[in-house]
Amino acid sequence: MHMMRIVGKMVATQFRLRLQRHDMNPYKLYLVTDDQQDLETLKFVVEQAIAGGVTMVQVREKHGDVRAFIERAQAVKSILSGSGVPLIINDRVDVALAVDADGLHLGQSDMPAALARKLIGPDKILGLSIETEQQLQEADSLPIDYIGLSAIFATPTKTNLKKHWGYEGIQMALETTKLPIVGIGGINESNIPQLTETGIHGLALVSAICHAEDPKQATQDLLSLMGE
């Protein structure tokens, strides 16, 4: 267990060093796709979001079958090719491996992070959702690259959570972990400026981009609210 913690810290450190060398923050504006949108809409949204400046894309599929997930992930990967924007797969290690994604994001009920790291290797991005203070305290001992702090505020897509972190929770999290933190849940145009002021590393959004009439303009507007 002690050796696994050492390896986990080394992997996360190597990833952060790679980002520092390239002066990158891929977490800043993190698009999570909407699995209710059809394939053509998904492709349109991602194309426009990339044009608008989104910095990371996670393909999230909770209701479709594996083949459909792979098809959608491959479509997004083709769009991201050459953009420098990482492709992250939600939950499914097999899909991440099948499409050779840049990374994987796990929930607390998914495969343990240590096992996922063994499967995807040391060079892929690995994120983990954090929903409680105990999970937060354990995060630095895991072989992960960033945490998804969930949920920041109440949201219709995350109805089973006991905790909403809010602004004070973000500050506590920043003081607790050395890992980059991405906030998700209930984030919109009205609270982005104050969230950015906390020093959080990134914000993940679904509907603000996916459901916008003009996803490119929406992305640009969000970045403007974040001080870009």
Active centre residues (catalytic): 60, 129, 158
Alpha helices in the chain (DSSP H): 2-21, 39-52, 66-80, 93-99, 113-120, 133-138, 166-176, 192-197, 207-210, 215-225
Positive or negative: CA dihedral 151, 129, 102, 36: negative
Distance (Å, rounded) from C-alpha 143 to C-alpha 9? Answer: 6
Q: CA 187 → CA 20, 63, 117, 183, distances in Å?
A: 27, 23, 29, 8
As annotated, the binding site includes: 58-62, 90-91, 110, 129, 155-158, 186, 206-207
Phi, psi of 98 (to 5 degrees): -60, -40
Neighbours of 203 (CB within 10 A): 24
Residue 24 tokens read as 């990158």
Distance (Å, rounded) from C-alpha 214 to C-alpha 97? Answer: 32
As annotated, the binding site for Mg(2+) includes: 91, 110
